[in-house]
């Protein structure tokens, strides 16, 4: 459960949304002596998320931006970076935990660079998790065919929230190497 955000009026007093700012927020009325009006608001945490402190409480910038853009406090919902870019705090949407997980990037420590794909003895296997249940999609001779199969099943189950593996000339060259 996320911590409650300050009142919208307080956020609008403190910040302005600025697409040219690395965090996408700038101080309009700074609340600390260490920052000036017009400064970039916040800093990146160790997980890559932008955070900002207001009245000595740290908040995630993408949640603040969502609230300022929509006037709707996300409360117990997640706020998702649509394209998975943690520095793009403007292209965000309110989602459920399940929708947010569906839109997550592939793990970097897997045997494949594609989400839902793993190396097996004689090819590539595809699995997807839907509502807590693992579903075996099948075995494929090529990594790219497996990634395409994952994409198809992910779209069926998650629609606009599905993370789609990028398959193209670059992906084909990378998998052949």
> What's the number of domains the chain is made of?
2
User: What span, in angstroms and rounded, lies between the C-alpha atoms of 126 and 105?
Assistant: 15
| Same domain (yes/no): 86, 121 | no
pTM recorded for the entire structure: 0.71
- Are 81 and 91 in contact by the 8 Å Cβ rule? The answer is yes
My answer on whether 91 and 37 are in the same domain is yes
The answer on 154 and 109 residing in a single domain is: yes
What's the pLDDT score for residue 175? 41
- Residues 36, 49: one domain? yes
Evaluate whether residue 1 is within a structural domain: no
From first to last of its 177 residues, what are the pLDDT tens digits of the chain?
A: 678 899 999 999 999 999 999 999 999 999 888 899 999 999 999 989 999 999 889 999 999 999 999 999 999 899 998 878 888 999 999 998 888 877 777 777 778 989 999 999 999 999 998 888 899 999 999 999 999 999 999 999 988 888 889 887 644 444 443
Three-point CA angle 145, 148, 154, nearest 5°: 140
The span from the CA of 89 to the CA of 81, in Å, is: 7
Q: What is the pLDDT of residue 151?
A: 94
| Cα 79-95-78 angle, rounded to 5 deg | 40
**CATH code at 134?**
3.30.730.10
Same domain, 51 and 69: yes
Domain boundary among 29, 61, 95: 95
**Which residues fall within 8 angstroms of residue 95, CB to CB, at 6 or more apart?**
77, 78, 79, 80, 103, 161
* Pair of tokens at residue 128: 């997807």
Q: How far is CA 131 from CA 48, 63, 86, 143, 155, in A?
A: 27, 25, 25, 25, 15
Q: Which regions of the chain does DSSP assign to beta strands (E)?
A: 15-17, 25-27, 43-44, 50-54, 57-60, 78-81, 92-95, 117-120, 123-130, 133-140
Residue 112: give the domain boundaries: 100-176
CATH code, domain with 18: 3.90.75.20
What pLDDT was estimated at residue 176? Answer: 41
């Amino acid at each position: 459960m996320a911590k409650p955000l300050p009142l919208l009026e307080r956020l609008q007093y403190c910040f302005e949304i600025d697409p040219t700012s690395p965090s996408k927020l700038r101080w309009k009325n700074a609340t600390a002596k260490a920052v000036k009006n017009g400064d970039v608001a916040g800093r990146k945490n160790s997980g890559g998320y932008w955070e900002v402190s207001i009245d000595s409480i740290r908040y995630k910038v993408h949640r603040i931006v969502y609230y300022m853009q929509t006037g709707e406090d996300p409360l117990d919902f997640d706020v998702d970076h649509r394209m998975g870019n943690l520095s793009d705090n403007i292209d965000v949407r309110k989602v459920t935990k399940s929708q947010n997980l569906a839109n997550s990037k592939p793990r970097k420590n897997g045997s494949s660079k594609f989400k839902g794909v793993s190396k097996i003895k004689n090819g590539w296997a595809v699995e997807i998790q839907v509502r807590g249940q693992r579903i075996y999609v099948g075995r494929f001779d090529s990594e790219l065919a497996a990634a395409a199969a994952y994409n198809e099943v992910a779209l069926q189950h998650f629609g606009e929230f599905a993370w789609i593996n990028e398959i193209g000339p670059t992906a084909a060259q990378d998998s052949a190497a």
